[in-house]
Amino acid sequence: MLAKHRHFLRFTTRDLTDEQAGLRTTAGELCLGGLIKHVTSVERKWGDFLLDGPSAFGDFTAMTEADWERRADEFRMLPGETLAGVLADYAEVARRTDGLVATLPDLGAVQPLPKAPWFQDTHWSARRVLMHIVAETAQHAGHADIIRESLDGAKSMA
């Protein structure tokens, strides 16, 4: 399932230039390159969480305005970034996650969640983390499809 949603997310960028990958085509802040950067970052952090627990994230409640601004950069194509580079980074993180899935000894093993106002639970299992990665990727693949259709009429999931 994760491979399917990764494919659709990457597919939304087919035949685009770096400039097009950085364009915002809706009222929101999202662009295709930024969405892929965000999904890459999220998947990387959750992979770190599977290995290292909540220290992989730090304490979200202690984040400064500058921390939040840096986090917002993962939703944009920054000067010097290329679509090819963003996609290569995503492929590397995907390989790592796939390797973790194949080698984790117990998908039922739990870790405490980091401090964050949006977590209702206190612990997640490795299985729950992987389901979250699937859901996050699927949600953003849908966002990407809307952005791409708004850009040039191309459809990825139709």
What is this structure's pTM?
0.92
- Mean pLDDT by 10-residue block, N- to C-terminus, for the chain (158 residues)? 96 97 92 97 95 86 85 92 98 97 94 83 93 97 95 84
**Per-residue 3-state assignment (H helix, E strand, C coil) for the chain:** CHHHHHHHHHHCCCCCCHHHHCCCCCCCCCCHHHHHHHHHHHHHHHHHHHHHHHHHCCCHHHCCHHHHHHHHHHHCCCCCCCHHHHHHHHHHHHHHHHHHHHHCCCCCCEEECCCCCCCCCCEEEHHHHHHHHHHHHHHHHHHHHHHHHHHHCCCCCC
